[in-house]
Structure 1
Amino acid sequence: MKKSIVFVFITMLLVSCSVENPTEFSEKALNDVFTSINNEEVKFKEILEKNKGKKIVIDVWASWCKDCLENLPDVKKQQEENSEVAYLYLSLDRDLDSWKEGVKRLKLKGQHYFMKSGWEGSFGKFLALSWIPRYLVIDEEGKIAVFNKTKITDSVIIKELKK
Structure 2
Amino acid sequence: MNKFLALIIVMVCFINCEAQPDPTSFSDAALNGVFVDSKGDAHSLQSVLETHQGKTILIDVWASWCRDCIVSLPDLNAVQNEYADVVFVFLSIDKTEKSWKKGIRKYHIKGEHYFMSDGWDSAFSEFVDLDWVPRYMVIDKEGHIALFRAVKITDPKIKEHLN
Contact 2:29 2:123 in 1 (8 A): yes
Q: Following TM superposition, by how much is the alpha carbon of 1:20 offset from its aligned partner in structure 2, in angstroms? A: 4.5
CA shift in 2, pair 1:60/1:19, >3 Å:
farther
Gaps of 5+ in 1: none
Where does 1:33-112 land on structure 2 (aligned, <5 Å)?
33-112=34-113
Q: 1:28 to 1:149 in 2, by over 3 A?
A: same
TM-superposition CA deviations, 1:108-138 (whole Å, max 9, x none): 1100000122111110000101111000000
Aligned residues: 155
Secondary structure of 1:119's counterpart equals helix
Q: Secondary structure, in 3 states, of the residue corresponding to 1:49?
A: helix
Percent identity, aligned pairs only?
44
Alpha-carbon deviation of 1:158?
A: 1.1
Q: Which has the larger radius of gyration?
A: 2
1:17 Cα offset (Å): 9.0
Q: Distance in 2 between matches of 1:130 and 1:17?
A: 20
Distance apart, 1:18 and its partner CA: 5.2
Uncovered stretches (5+) of structure 2, i.e. residues with no partner: 1-6
Residue equivalent to 1:142: 143
| CA-based RMSD | 2.2
- Runs of 4+ in structure 1 deviating by more than 3 angstroms, as ranges, are 15-20
Contact 2:95 2:117 in 1 (8 A): no
- The TM-score, its normalising length taken from structure 1, stands at 0.88
The 3 A distance-change label for structure 1 pair 76 and 131 is: same
Distance 1:69 1:125 in 2: 23
CA deviation digits over 1:28-60, x for unaligned, max 9? 000000100111011111111111110000000
